[in-house]
Amino acid sequence: MRKIAILSIFTTSLIVAGGYKIPEQSLNSMALSGAYVAHTMDADSAYFNPANMVFLDSNRDMMEAGLTIVHLKENRFRGRQALSPTNIYDANGTSEVENKTIPYFHYISNPIGNLRWGMSLTVPAGLKKRWLVHPDRYTINTNEFENAYQELFAKEFSLKVTEFNPVISYKISDKFAIGGGIRVVYSEGEVYNDGNYVGVPIRREMQGNTIEYGYNLATTYRPLPDVNLAMTYRSNVNLNEKADSGDANLYIGNLGRQYSANVKIPLPASLNLAISKTWLDRFTLEFDYERTYWSKYKSLDFNYGSKIPSSLVEAFDNPKPKNWKDTDTFRLGATLKMENITYMLAYAKDETPVPKEYINYELPDSDANIYSVGVRIDISDTLSWGVAYLYDDKDSTTLKAGENRNGIIGKFSKGGAELFTTSLSYKF
C-alpha cells in the first residue's frame, strides 16, 4: 500500500479530540472544571474515579443522566498565507460558530460486600470546525474571498467519539481502594477541503470510523476521614481510522478517484493526581494535576489501498511531522454542601499540545484559562437535579514569518468555548 498525507486534516481532526477534549462528563465535573478525581460524590464516580465507588455513602443503585450543550466560538485569523517562499497572500478569515449537544450516562450498582461495579457512556471528545468561503465577504482591495485559503486546508471537518466504560472497584481497607475498567471507543469523522477559490484545483472528501479498546485504572487512599489522595490513569488508545473505497475521494479539477485508506494515530494516555480536603462535612477543596502524553503524536503517515497518480505523489506522499508535546493541566475546585443544595465553582489552567511550528487552520489551538460554576438541588433523598456552566478562554497566538511550517503568518484570536450542562440523578 502506498503512503499518503492527503488525509492529514482528517487525522488531525481526530487528534483535536485531545486539544479540544471534553474531560467534563457530568454535572459535578463540569461545575468543577474537571477538579473531580479525589472527592467524587455521585454515580459519575464510575467514570472519574472508579476506586471511589466503594466509599460512597449510598448502599443503593445510583444513576445520572445529563445533557451538555457545547458552543464553539469563532476563530479569527488576521495575516497572510505563504503557499511557497515567493507566493504569499493576504488570508484573513473567520471560522463558523458551532453548537453541539452531548449526552452522557453513569451507573453504579449497590455494594456486594467490598465490591462494586458501574459503567459510563460518554462523548469525551468531539469537534466541528468550518472555514467556509462566503461570497458576501469578498474583499475588493485584495480581490479575495475571506476564508479562501483556510478552505484549502480545512473547509469542514467534524469528529464524534463515543466511549463505553464498564468498571469495577474493590475496598482493600477502610482507607484504601482500587478500581479499573475497559475503554471501548468508537470514533467517526468527516473532512472536506477545496482549493478552487485560490486557483488550486484540488478537492478532498473523506469519511472514516473505527472501534478500538483501552483500559483505565484508579486508586484512592484516605489517610484521614476528611482527606482523599487519588490517582487515575487512562491508557493510550490507537485509533486505526479506516475509510472504505468510496469514502476517501481525491479530485484534480473535476476528475476524481475513490480509494480505501487507513491511518493509525494515538489518542494519548492521561494521568491524574489529586488531593481533597473537607471541613465540617460541608466545604471541600480539591486540587488536581493532569498530565496528557501527547508526545506519542510525532507524525502523520497514511496508507492507501492503491497507487496514487504520479502527479500527486510530491504533494501527498510525504508524512507530516507534528511533534506534539506532553501537556500539564492544573485544576482547583471548591464545593459547599448545604441542607439540600450543593454549590460548586472552579478554575483550571490548560496547556495546548501544539507547538507554534505546526499550528494549522484545523487546529488553531492555544493555552486556556477555564472558569466554571454549578449548583445541584436535592428534591428528595433519592432524586436530585442541577445545572453547570463552563467558560474556556483561549489565548491569542501570533506567528512570525518563518516560525510556522505551514506558511501561516499572522495572529489567531478569539476561539474558546462555552459549555452548559443539566442533569438528573436518581438512587433506587
Instruction: Indicate which CATH number applies to the domain containing 212.
Output: 2.40.160.60
Distant-in-sequence, close-in-space partners of 300: CB < 8 Å, separation ≥ 6: 5, 7, 8, 11, 12, 263, 265, 319, 320, 322
Distant-in-sequence, close-in-space partners of 380: CB < 8 Å, separation ≥ 6: none
Q: Which helix (H) or strand (E) holds 330?
A: strand 327-337
Residue-averaged pLDDT of the chain: 86
Best mean pLDDT range from 72-76, 157-161, 321-325, 327-331: 327-331
Percent of the chain with pLDDT over 90: 55
Q: Which of 329, 354, 333 is nearest to 272 (CA)?
A: 329
Q: Which residue has the cell 511557497?
A: 84
- Cell readout for 324 is 506534539
Band the pLDDT of 425: cuts 50, 70, 90: very high
* Mean pLDDT in residue range 234-250: 83
pLDDT at residue 185 greater than cutoff 80: yes
Residue-level pLDDT at 341: 97
* Mean pLDDT in residue range 226-234: 98
Percent of the chain with pLDDT over 70: 90
Distant-in-sequence, close-in-space partners of 6: CB < 8 Å, separation ≥ 6: 204, 250, 302, 312, 315, 316
Q: Which residue has the cell 454549590?
A: 343
Q: Which residue has the cell 483550571?
A: 348
Band the pLDDT of 252: cuts 50, 70, 90: confident
* Mean pLDDT in residue range 160-186: 96
Residue-level pLDDT at 14: 36
Q: Per the structure, how many domains does the chain have?
A: 1
Residue-level pLDDT at 303: 74
Q: How many CA atoms lie within 13 A of 80 on its CB side?
A: 15
pTM: 0.89
pLDDT tens-digit map of 320-368 = 788 999 999 999 999 999 989 999 999 999 999 999 999 988 778 899 9
Burial 304-315 (b: 16+ CB within 10 A, else e): beeebeeeeeee
Residue-level pLDDT at 16: 35
End-to-end CA distance of the chain: 55
* CB 39 within 8 Å of CB 335: yes
Residue-level pLDDT at 315: 52
Q: Which domain holds residue 98?
A: 2-427
* Mean pLDDT in residue range 219-247: 91
pLDDT at residue 20 greater than cutoff 60: no
Band the pLDDT of 205: cuts 50, 70, 90: confident
Residue-level pLDDT at 46: 97
* Mean pLDDT in residue range 2-28: 52
